Amino acid sequence: MHTLSIKALAVGLRSKKFSARELAAHFLKRIEAHDGKLNSYVTVCADSALKEADAADARLARGEGEPLTGIPLAHKDIFCTQGVKTACGSRMLDKFVAPYDATIVARLKRAGMVMRGKANMDEFAMGSSNETSWYGPVKNPWDPTRVPGGSSGGSVAAVAAGLAPVATGTDTGGSIRQPAALTNLTGIKPTYGRVSRYGMIAFASSLDQAGVLGRSAEDCASVLEAMAGFDPMDSTSVDRPVDNYAAALDKPIEGLRIGLPKEYFAEGLAPGARDCVMNAVKKLQELGATVQEISLPNSPLSVPTYYVVAPAEASSNLARFDGVRYGHRAEGVKTLEELYKRSRGEGFGAEVQRRIMIGTYVLSHGYYDAYYLKAQKVRRLIYDDFKRAFQSVDLVLGPTATDVAFKLGAKTDDPVAMYLNDIYTIAANLAGIPAMSLPCGFVDGLPVGMQLMGNYFDESRLLNVAHRYQQATDWHTKLPKGFE
Residues with catalytic roles: 76, 151, 175
Q: In what order do the strands lie in the sheet with 290-294?
A: 41-44, 114-119, 72-76, 166-170, 210-214, 186-189, 435-443, 446-454, 395-399, 257-261, 290-294
Q: What's the rounded Cα separation, in Å, for the pair 26 and 280?
A: 35
Burial class (CB in 10 A: 0-12, 13-18, 19+), 366: exposed
Radius of gyration of the chain (CA): 21
Report pLDDT for 134: 97
Q: Please choose, from the candidates 206, 216, 161, the residue with its C-alpha nearest in 3D space to the C-alpha of residue 183.
A: 161
Residues 6+ apart with CB under 8 A from 350: 132
SS3 442: strand
SS3 115: strand
Tens digit of each residue's pLDDT, the chain (484 residues)? 999 999 999 999 999 999 999 999 999 999 999 999 999 999 999 999 999 999 999 999 999 999 999 999 999 999 999 999 999 999 999 999 999 999 999 999 999 999 999 999 999 999 999 999 999 999 999 999 999 999 999 999 999 999 999 999 999 999 999 999 999 999 999 999 999 999 999 999 999 999 999 999 999 999 999 999 999 999 999 999 999 999 999 999 999 999 999 999 999 999 999 999 999 999 999 999 999 999 999 999 999 999 999 999 999 999 999 999 889 999 999 999 999 999 999 999 999 999 999 999 999 988 999 999 999 999 999 999 999 999 999 999 999 999 999 999 999 999 888 998 899 999 999 999 999 999 999 999 999 999 999 999 999 999 999 999 999 999 999 999 999 8
**Residue 291: which H helix or E strand, with range?**
strand 290-294
Dihedral sign for Cα 176, 181, 184, 186, please: positive
Q: Which residues pair with 442 in a beta bridge?
A: 447
Domain boundaries, the chain: 6-252
Chain Cα centroid distance, residue 484:
23
Q: Which residues pair with 260 in a beta bridge?
A: 293
Q: Please choose, from the candidates 217, 205, 133, 189, the residue with its C-alpha nearest in 3D space to the C-alpha of residue 426.
A: 189
Most distant pair of Cα atoms in the chain: their distance: 70
Specify the CATH class of 6-252 in words.
Answer: alpha beta
